[in-house]
């Protein structure tokens, strides 16, 4: 696991709050319940997330933690709900499949808000601004995206990193992986020449000195928590109210600084 206080100052400061999550099914799915939020499991906020994806979500000492997870804990607490987290693949999140199946109430997994996704998903207010980046081994002859022709580039399926690489490195051979864990193992084994994905995650892979960031790409991306497109209006409102409260009381900044400030 990467240290929380790393060289994250390169990351654009968060412009707003929010988070994504993962969740789990329950026996009383669809029960409506006292909250009026039509939760998967009344009394709990069930969150789905693609773990690990440090520094946003990872497991430490047997517990899920990270920037997204810590905000989710605060949101659930503010709503007087227990937090229940399920580990799912990112593709099922960004497609909305796990929400449509009522596996969870909300997705918290560093999900970038895009027009395409917003056609099928409801987003919370944005909570984090990110950049794309290119990770290469120290000493690599790849210094920029222009050097990727004929190179193998690892990307995560269904992500904006994959989209950016497809558009801007058309002569590279993109190798798709289900998560960052497989991507990082591939570059460590020399099976790919570079990884293109969100800057905070790639920065974590530079900490042992074997890899470096060759280039950063300002893409104006903002993360949001995702919910079902239909029927989640009350939940979206409740989550946004909690995000505003966290910003107003300073808790959001406290969490942000614990992961991204020097």
List of long-range contacts for 114-118, beta carbons under 8 Å, 24+ apart? 114/160, 117/226
CA 183 vs. chain centroid, Å, equals 15
Residue 224's pLDDT is 97
Mode of pairing for the β-strands spanning 194-198 and 152-156: parallel
Residue 261's pLDDT is 75
229 burial via Cβ count (<10 Å: 0-12, 13-18, 19+): middle
Q: How far is CA 86 from CA 52, 69, 105, 146, 231, in A?
A: 12, 11, 11, 39, 21
Q: How far is CA 73 from CA 19, 44, 115, 228, in A?
A: 10, 11, 28, 20
Instruction: Encode 18-34: b = buried (16+ Cβ within 10 Å), e = exposed.
Output: bbbbbbbbbeebeeeee
Rounded Cα distance, 228 and 99, in Å? 6
Q: How far is CA 94 from CA 24, 97, 148, 208, in A?
A: 16, 8, 27, 31
Residue 262's pLDDT is 59
Q: How far is CA 61 from CA 6, 66, 69, 83, 99, in A?
A: 20, 12, 14, 17, 28
Residue 36's pLDDT is 85
Rounded Cα distance, 99 and 146, in Å? 38
Q: What angle do CA 103, 182, 93 make, to 5 degrees?
A: 20
Question: Helix or strand or coil: residue 136?
Answer: strand
Report mean pLDDT in 10-residue bins for the chain, 262 residues: 35 35 37 74 96 94 97 97 95 93 96 94 96 97 97 95 96 95 96 96 95 96 96 96 98 95 67
Question: Helix or strand or coil: residue 195?
Answer: strand
**What backbone torsions phi and psi does residue 109 show, to the nearest 5 degrees?**
-160, 50
Residue 33's pLDDT is 55
* Helix segments in 189-232, DSSP class H: 199-204
Give the residue carrying structure tokens 């709503």: 79
Nearest CA-CA partner of 2 in 71, 62, 52: 52
Tokens for 5?
């206080």
pTM over 0.95: no
DSSP 33-75: -TTSS--SSTTEEEEEE-S-BTTTBEEETTEEESHHHHHHHHH
Nearest CA-CA partner of 230 in 50, 102, 77: 102
């Amino acid at each position: 696991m990467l240290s929380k206080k790393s060289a994250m100052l390169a990351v654009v400061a968060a412009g707003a709050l929010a988070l994504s999550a993962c969740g789990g099914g329950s026996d009383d799915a669809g029960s409506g319940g006292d909250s009026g939020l039509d939760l998967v499991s009344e009394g709990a906020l069930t969150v789905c997330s693609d773990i690990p994806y440090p520094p946003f979500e990872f497991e430490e000492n047997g517990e899920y933690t990270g920037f997204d997870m810590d905000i989710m804990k605060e949101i659930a607490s503010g709503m007087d709900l227990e937090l229940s987290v399920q580990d799912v693949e990112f593709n099922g999140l960004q497609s909305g499949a796990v929400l449509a199946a009522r596996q969870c109430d909300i997705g918290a997994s560093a999900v970038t808000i895009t027009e395409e996704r917003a056609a099928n998903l409801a987003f919370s207010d944005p909570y984090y601004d990110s950049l794309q980046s290119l990770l290469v081994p120290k000493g690599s002859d790849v210094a920029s995206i222009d050097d990727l022709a004929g190179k193998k580039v690892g990307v995560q399926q269904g992500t904006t990193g994959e989209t950016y690489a497809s558009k801007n490195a058309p002569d590279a051979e993109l190798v798709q992986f289900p998560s960052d864990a497989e991507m990082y193992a591939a570059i460590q084994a020399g099976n790919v020449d570079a990884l293109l994905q969100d800057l905070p995650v790639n920065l974590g892979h530079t900490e042992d000195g074997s890899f470096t960031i060759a280039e950063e790409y300002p893409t104006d991306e903002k993360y949001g928590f995702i919910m079902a497109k239909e029927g989640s209006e009350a939940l979206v409102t409740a989550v946004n109210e909690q995000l505003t409260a966290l910003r107003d009381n300073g808790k959001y900044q406290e969490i942000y600084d614990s992961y991204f400030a020097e």
